């Protein structure tokens, strides 16, 4: 069964450093997403991406965040200057049509 | 007002019983409704989606949607210990992408 692949599975970074989280969505999917889940809390929407541009972003997705689809397969989330409160599990998801999103296994980001 | 609300639980049922999970949403124009299961430390896994009022059955799972009441539920029949997880309700809002409720933690006791 097709799956969404995320790397790395766990990333530890120093506060203030830049991190790039990588995702390979399912190949025929057209819509791409990043969500995050702080430990013990709900899954929160960050951003959606369609047709090579951001279609929607939440209040969380401030100027420190950016997304890119550099080569037609990868979909990346960059955090420019990480803060302690950015520590969370970050999920990439993709979909085609309206049959629900397929999530990757997540990247656990720990900012120290 | 929260967009998607769920009782956080925990909900505990004995093995073999029916587990009933509930969700309400605020945007009356919402069109697509999803139930995801999330095991601890894992990503959400789609169980069912429903678009129309009424019931939709898939194996031991039944999703129920009542748009007039802005209410969607998930019934799990013959609950098994392996069903123990957090169940996330998700809704596609008009002009917005999918939003999740906080989830209900279900424990099925052998």
Indicate if the pLDDT at residue B1 is higher than 70: no
Q: How does residue A42 score in pLDDT terms, banded at 50, 70 and 90? A: very high
pLDDT of A72 reads 79
Q: Which residues in chain A have Cβ-Cβ distances shorter than 8 Å to B103? A: 42-43
Determine the distance in angstroms separating the CA of B36 from the nearest CA of chain A, rounded to an integer: 9
Cβ-contact B50, B73 below 8 angstroms: no
Burial class (CB in 10 A: 0-12, 13-18, 19+), B33: buried
**What 3 state SS string does B43-88 have?**
CCEEEEEECCCEEEEECCEEEEEECCCCEEEEEECCCCHHHCEEEE
User: What's the Rg (C-alpha) of chain A?
Assistant: 13
State the Cα–Cα distance between residues A61 and A37, nearest whole angstrom: 14
Token readout for A73 is 């397969």
Indicate if the pLDDT at residue B55 is higher than 70: yes
Report yes or no: A102 at the B interface, CB cutoff 8 Å.
yes
What is the mean pLDDT of the segment spanning A1-8? 91
What is the mean pLDDT of the segment spanning B28-45? 92
List the single residue in B with minimal CA-CA distance to A39.
B41
Q: How does residue B64 score in pLDDT terms, banded at 50, 70 and 90? A: very high
Indicate if the pLDDT at residue A1 is higher than 90: no
Suggest the residue from A39, A43, A46, A56 to mutate for an interface test with chain B (most B CBs closer than 10 A): A43
Indicate if the pLDDT at residue A23 is higher than 70: yes
Q: Which residues in chain A have Cβ-Cβ distances shorter than 8 Å to B97? A: 33, 45, 48, 55-56
pLDDT of A71 reads 85
How many CB pairs (< 8 A) connect A and B?
43
Q: Which residues in chain A have Cβ-Cβ distances shorter than 8 Å to B101? A: 42
Q: How does residue B9 score in pLDDT terms, banded at 50, 70 and 90? A: confident
Cβ-contact B12, B107 below 8 angstroms: yes
What is the mean pLDDT of the segment spanning A49-55? 92
- What is the share, in percent, of chain B residues with pLDDT greater than 70? 95
- Choose between A98 and B6: higher pLDDT: B6
Determine the distance in angstroms separating the CA of A47 from the nearest CA of chain B, rounded to an integer: 9
- Per-residue pLDDT of B86-102, as tens digits, reads 999 999 876 668 899 99
pLDDT of B93 reads 73
Indicate if the pLDDT at residue A64 is higher than 90: yes
List the single residue in A with minimal CA-CA distance to B90.
A100
When mean pLDDT is compared over A50-54, A95-99, B58-62, the highest value belongs to B58-62
The number of angstroms, rounded, from the C-alpha of B100 to the middle of its chain's C-alpha atoms is 10
State the Cα–Cα distance between residues A80 and A10, nearest whole angstrom: 18
Report yes or no: A99 at the B interface, CB cutoff 8 Å.
yes
Burial class (CB in 10 A: 0-12, 13-18, 19+), A39: exposed
Q: Which residues in chain B have Cβ-Cβ distances shorter than 8 Å to A45? A: 97-100
State the Cα–Cα distance between residues A108 and A112, nearest whole angstrom: 13
Indicate if the pLDDT at residue B60 is higher than 90: yes
Of B93, B94, B92, B50, whose CA–CA distance to B72 is shortest?
B50
Indicate if the pLDDT at residue B2 is higher than 80: no
List the single residue in A with minimal CA-CA distance to B47.
A100
pLDDT of B70 reads 94
């Amino acid at each position: 069964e097709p799956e969404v692949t995320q790397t790395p599975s766990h990333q530890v970074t120093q506060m203030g450093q830049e991190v790039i989280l990588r995702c390979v969505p399912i190949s025929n999917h057209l819509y791409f997403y990043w969500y995050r889940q702080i430990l013990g809390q709900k899954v929160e929407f960050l951003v959606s991406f369609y047709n090579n541009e951001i279609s929607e972003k939440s209040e969380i997705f401030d100027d420190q965040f950016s997304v890119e689809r550099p080569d037609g397969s990868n979909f990346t989330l960059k955090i420019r200057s990480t803060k302690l409160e950015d520590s969370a599990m970050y999920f990439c998801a993709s979909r085609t049509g309206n049959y629900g999103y397929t999530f990757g296994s997540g990247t656990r980001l720990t900012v120290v | 007002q929260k967009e998607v609300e769920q009782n956080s639980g925990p909900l505990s049922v004995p093995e073999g019983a029916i587990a009933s999970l509930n969700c309400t949403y605020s945007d009356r124009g919402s069109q697509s409704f999803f139930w995801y299961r999330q095991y601890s430390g894992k990503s959400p896994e789609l169980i069912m989606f429903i678009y129309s009022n009424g019931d939709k059955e898939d194996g031991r799972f039944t999703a129920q949607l009542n748009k007039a009441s802005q209410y969607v539920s998930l019934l799990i029949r013959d609950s098994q210990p392996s069903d123990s997880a957090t169940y996330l309700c998700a809704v596609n809002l008009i002009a917005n992408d999918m939003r999740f409720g906080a989830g209900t933690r279900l424990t099925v006791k052998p």
